[in-house]
Amino acid sequence: MSCRGIGLHSGEAVKLRILPAPAGTGIVFRRVDLDGFEIEAVGRNVAKVSYATSLQKKGVLISTTEHLLSAFIGIGLDNAIVELDNLELPILDGSAQPFVEMLLEAGLKQQRKKRSYLRILREIEVREGNKSIAVYPASGYTVAYNIQFAAPIGEQSFEIDLSRDLYRKEVSSARTFGFLREEKAMRNMGLIRGASEANVIVLTDDGVKNGPLRFPDEFVRHKILDLIGDLALLGKQIIGRIVADRAGHAMHAALVSRLLRDRTLWEETTEIAPSQESADTREVPFTVPHQA
Of the candidates 67, 222, 249, 252, the residue annotated as catalytic is: 249
List the alpha helices (DSSP H) in the chain: 66-75, 97-106, 167-170, 183-188, 218-231, 249-261
Is 222 labeled as catalytic in the residue annotation? no
Helices 66-75 and 218-231 pack at an angle, to 10 degrees, of 80
Q: Tell me which amino acid residue 20 is.
A: P
Q: Give, as one character, the DSSP assignment of residue 193.
A: T
Question: How far apart (Å, rounded) are the C-alpha atoms in residues 167 and 179?
Answer: 26
C-alpha distances (whole Å) from 277 to each of 51, 119, 150 are 34, 16, 40
C-alpha distances (whole Å) from 198 to each of 15, 163, 177, 211, 281 are 18, 31, 11, 11, 34
Please identify every residue annotated as catalytic: 249
